[in-house]
């Protein structure tokens, strides 16, 4: 992630303007999330990562997206309530955006240029695709939606950048 990407404007779920510059100096795991997906239980492991590594300069950042079979239909308030009551989510959530297609948010236009370990770059394949960004803002890893947050490869990548 370049300085330019860190400066791409986006909003928090509550509508407050922000950018990834707010997380400068931290290792960030960006995840496009959805509340009505078969992969939604990954919220549990994402929150555990937040609790385990949060005090070491790490944060998960959830980015709701409704592009995959309408699996994130809620309002910002409904999304926040679901995440809090169902999974005890404490990590930041950004506004609901599009991650693919003509309406793709500028943040994902940059993220999707990076390939995962299987060589996949380009479009996000499904909910819960993950991008690891180091303390300097470089995109250092991409993980498939089905790669669980507590997969040894994800843990090793996080730990190597803390």
22-44 residue pLDDT tens: 998 999 999 999 999 999 999 99
Q: What is the CATH number of the domain that holds 124?
A: 3.40.30.10
pLDDT over 60 (residue 57): yes
What positions carry a catalytic annotation?
A: 37
| Domain count along the chain | 1
On the question of pLDDT at 1 being above 60, the answer is no
Q: What is the pLDDT of residues 128-148, one digit of tens each?
A: 999 999 998 889 999 999 999
Contact 59, 132 (CB under 8 A): no
111 inside domain = yes
Domain that holds residue 85: 3-157
- Residue 52: count other Cβ atoms within 10 Å of its Cβ: 14
pLDDT tens digits for range 85-124: 999 999 999 999 999 999 999 999 999 999 998 999 999 9
Q: Would you say residue 162 lies in a domain?
A: no
DSSP 8-state code for residue 64: E
Residue 72 domain-assigned (yes or no): yes
Using DSSP, state whether 102 is helix, strand or coil.
Answer: coil
């Amino acid at each position: 992630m370049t300085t330019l990407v860190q400066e791409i404007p986006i909003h928090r779920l509550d509508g407050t303007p922000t950018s990834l510059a707010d997380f400068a100096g931290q290792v960030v795991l960006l995840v496009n999330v959805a509340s009505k997906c078969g992969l939604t239980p990954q919220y549990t492991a994402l929150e555990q990562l937040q609790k385990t590594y949060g005090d070491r300069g790490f944060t998960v950042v959830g980015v709701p997206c409704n592009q995959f079979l309408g699996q994130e239909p809620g309002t910002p308030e409904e999304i926040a309530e679901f995440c809090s009551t169902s999974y005890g989510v404490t990590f930041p959530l950004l506004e609901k955006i599009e991650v693919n297609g003509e309406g793709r948010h500028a943040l994902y236009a940059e993220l999707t240029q990076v390939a995962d370990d299987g060589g996949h770059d380009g479009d996000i394949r499904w909910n819960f695709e993950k991008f690891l960004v180091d303390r300097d803002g470089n995109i250092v890893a991409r993980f498939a939606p089905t790669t669980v947050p507590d997969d040894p490869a994800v843990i090793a990548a996080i730990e190597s950048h803390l």
